[in-house]
Amino acid sequence: MEEYSIAAQVWKLSSCDMSELARNSVLMSGFPHEFKQHWIGANYAREGVEGNDIQRTNLPGIRVSFRYESLLDELNHLHDSAHHPQLLTAALKKEAGVAAAAASAAAAATSADKTAADKEKVAATNGLPNVNGTGGGGGGGPSKP
């Protein structure tokens, strides 16, 4: 129980989050079937909302439904990728293109920053105003002889 209270404080978990964690912990535990029935409901082994006893788990059906639908979507995606590899290849190419474009934009921004810094260094060594309008070398004021 101590781990749950620490997690609740660190990640600011709601009571609903905590109920979901507790239910999932019981489901994945090695406790006998009878214990699980007692703790989270007689139909705990059923999938989706049918396996949730809100009186025992304090977990709303809408949340269980969302998790179950998300799981089914992910499984369908994996199934489609396994049976239609061209879909996965196209998705990976698209993702790689987006990543390459982002890397190119980041490189261009870094290059522009470096160019501006180089210009400021040149201006400072020549005693000219830099990009910010302050004088180079002597801090912007008249130089002392």
* 52 and 96 fall within a common domain: no
Average pLDDT, the chain: 81
Task: Flag the least confident range among 22-31, 102-111, 127-136.
Answer: 127-136
In angstroms, the CA 135 to CA 65 distance is 66
* 44 and 114 fall within a common domain: no
* 78 and 98 fall within a common domain: no
Of 26, 50, 83, which residue sits at a domain end? 83
* 1 and 50 fall within a common domain: yes
Residue 12 pLDDT level (bands cut at 50, 70, 90): very high
* 32 and 92 fall within a common domain: no
In angstroms, the CA 101 to CA 106 distance is 9
CB 25 within 8 A of CB 43: no
* Number of structural domains the chain divides into: 2
* Amino acid type, 15: S
Length of the chain: 145
For residue 48, count CB atoms less than 10 angstroms from its CB and return exposed for 0-12, middle for 13-18, buried for 19 or more. middle
- Rounded to the nearest angstrom, the gap between the alpha carbon of residue 85 and the centroid of all alpha carbons in its chain is 26
Give, in degrees to the nearest 5, the angle at Cα 70 between 69 and 74: 115
* 76 and 104 fall within a common domain: no
* 8 and 65 fall within a common domain: yes
Average pLDDT over residues 84-104: 73
* 67 and 34 fall within a common domain: yes
pLDDT for position 34: 97
Q: Which domain holds residue 92?
A: 86-124
pLDDT at 53 over 70: yes
Average pLDDT over residues 109-138: 60
The answer to whether position 78 is within a domain reads: yes
pLDDT for position 62: 97
